[in-house]
């Protein structure tokens, strides 16, 4: 039985000065690097969107960032353009020790579907392949860190708990966007799903 550290979206665009900057997003990186040595497997995720992605406010005529739209899979927050495939903003933050990664999962490549979770796209049915990988490697315990607590970290943690993993989110190694109460509701939803929330 193995454990894995999932490092969610520690990319330039989610760090200060990035296109969708998360406050203090870069302050967690040294601690994340140190944590990598304590797990059997390190997984990194990378938000990886085409320029015309339907989660971008710029894909609509009368929308601005943080407005919402109804997609075929439900409500979707609209974001500033971020993590465009191949751009500097999509790269891992230079301080992140990405060479420790056993596997890198890229997500959000389908222009019609956003993908917060490391396991399923936002349609809740299209898998990323991570569950198969972790099953094959006999991983049962997952610890999640990274950006942003209230979106990609929370969605990944809740999906993992539903899939039967024992899941811990290390809040001291995660930071939130916290738009319109999103952090509070994400914390509630994670607790209800049985995700352990720890600060150290």
Enumerate binding residues for ligand VGL (CB under 6 A). 9, 14, 47, 79, 116, 147-148, 151-152
- Nearest CA-CA partner of 73 in 117, 119, 112, 129: 112
| DSSP per-residue letters across 92-123 | BPTTS-GGG-SEEEEE--STTS---SSSB-TT
Q: Could you confirm whether 91 is annotated as catalytic? A: no
Report yes or no: 196 and 58 within 8 Å, Cβ to Cβ. no
- Supply the minimum distance, in Å, between the C-beta of residue 56 and Zn ion: 9
**Residue of 26, 47, 83, 107 marked catalytic:** 107
Q: Could you confirm whether 107 is annotated as catalytic? A: yes
Name which of 96 and 147 has its Cβ closer to ligand VGL.
Answer: 147
| Angle value at C-alpha 186, between 128 and 182, nearest 5 degrees | 110
**Residue of 47, 81, 83, 152 marked catalytic:** 152
Q: Could you confirm whether 141 is annotated as catalytic? A: no
Q: Is 47 in the site for Zn ion (CB under 5 A)?
A: yes
Name which of 47 and 161 has its Cβ closer to ligand VGL.
Answer: 47
- Per-residue b or e along 34-65, where b marks 16 or more CB atoms closer than 10 Å to that residue's CB: ebbeebebbbbbbbbbeeebbbbbeeeeeeeb
152 binds, among ligand VGL, Zn ion, none (CB under 5 to 8 A by kind): ligand VGL
Q: Is 9 in the site for Zn ion (CB under 5 A)?
A: no
Residues lying near Zn ion in the complex (CB under 5 A) are found at: 47
The residues annotated with a catalytic role in the active site are 9, 107, 152
């Amino acid at each position: 039985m193995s454990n894995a550290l999932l490092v969610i979206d520690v990319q330039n665009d989610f760090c200060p000065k990035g296109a969708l900057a998360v406050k203090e997003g870069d302050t967690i990186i040294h601690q994340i690097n140190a944590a990598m040595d304590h797990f059997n497997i390190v997984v990194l995720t990378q938000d990886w969107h085409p320029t015309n992605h339907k989660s971008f406010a710029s894909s609509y005529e009368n929308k601005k960032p943080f407005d919402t739209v109804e997609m075929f899979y439900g409500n979707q927050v609209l974001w500033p353009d971020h993590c465009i495939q191949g751009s500097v903003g999509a790269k891992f933050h230079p301080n992140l020790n990405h060479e420790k990664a056993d596997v890198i999962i890229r997500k959000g490549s389908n222009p019609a579907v956003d993908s917060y979770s490391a396991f399923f796209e936002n349609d809740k049915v299209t898998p990323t392949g991570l569950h198969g990988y972790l099953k094959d490697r006999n991983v049962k315990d997952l610890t999640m860190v990274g950006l942003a607590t209230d979106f990609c970290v929370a969605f990944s943690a809740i999906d993992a708990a539903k899939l039967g993993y024992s899941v811990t989110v290390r809040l001291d190694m995660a930071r939130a966007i916290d738009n319109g109460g999103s952090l509070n509701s994400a914390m509630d939803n994670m607790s209800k799903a049985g995700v352990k929330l720890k600060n150290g």
